[in-house]
Amino acid sequence: MSSTISLLSSGARVVVTTHAADGTSIFHSDQVLEPFSPFGPSGSSFTIFDARPSVPVDNLAAPAAADLRKTLPRVPATGVNFCITNIAPRYSVPMHRTLSLDYAIVLAGEIVLALDGGDEKTVRAGEFIVQQGVNHAWHNRTDDVCRIAFVGVGSEKIRLASGEELGETVIKGPGK
C-alpha cells in the first residue's frame, strides 16, 4: 500500500527544452512538479506539465505558469495541454464531458472507462485511449493507483443532427 500512496502523492519530473538566442537547443528546466489533489488524499491528483492557449504553439514561449498547476486540467478552446492524472484505489470520478479531443495512455494500473450510454471498457497499463468529447466516468476498481497521461486538444462543440450542442460538464473542485 505504501507504493500506492507514493504514486498518488509523489511529484513527477518534467524536462523542458527551448532555444538560446542564437537558435541552439538548450534545456529550459528540469524539475519535479508536485501533484494537485483537490479531492483530498484518497481521491485523484493532477499534474499539469504544460498548457498552450492556441495551436500552432510558439516554441519560444515559456511553459505553463506555476499557478496553472494548482487547477483542474482544462484544455483551452483552441489550445492544448499535457498532464497526468492519478486515480486512487477504489475511487470513481463522476460522469463529465470536456470540450476536447483527449489522447491518453495508461501508465500504471488499470481503469474502467464508463460512457453515459452504459458501455464500459477496462484499459490497462500500456494501452491507449482516443476520447472525442464524450460524457464519461472513470472507475478504479483495483487496490492500486491508476496513472494516466493525457494530451488534450481543444475542440469544437459537438453539434447533433437536431442542432443541439453538447456542452462541457466538468467536475468542480470542492467549494466551487
Confidence of residue 1 (pLDDT cuts 50, 70, 90): very low
Could you read off the pLDDT of 116-171 as tens digits, one per residue?
Answer: 999 999 999 999 999 999 999 999 999 999 999 999 999 999 999 999 999 888 77
Q: Could you give the count of Cα atoms lying within 13 Å of 35 in the half-sphere of its Cβ?
A: 24
Could you read off the pLDDT of 60-104 as tens digits, one per residue?
Answer: 887 776 667 777 888 888 999 999 999 999 999 999 999 999 999
Average of per-residue pLDDT across 5-32: 87
Given a cut of 70, whether residue 6 has pLDDT beyond it is: no
Domains of the chain, first to last:
2-19+26-157 (2.60.120.10)
Whole-number Å distance between alpha carbons of 30 and 12: 11
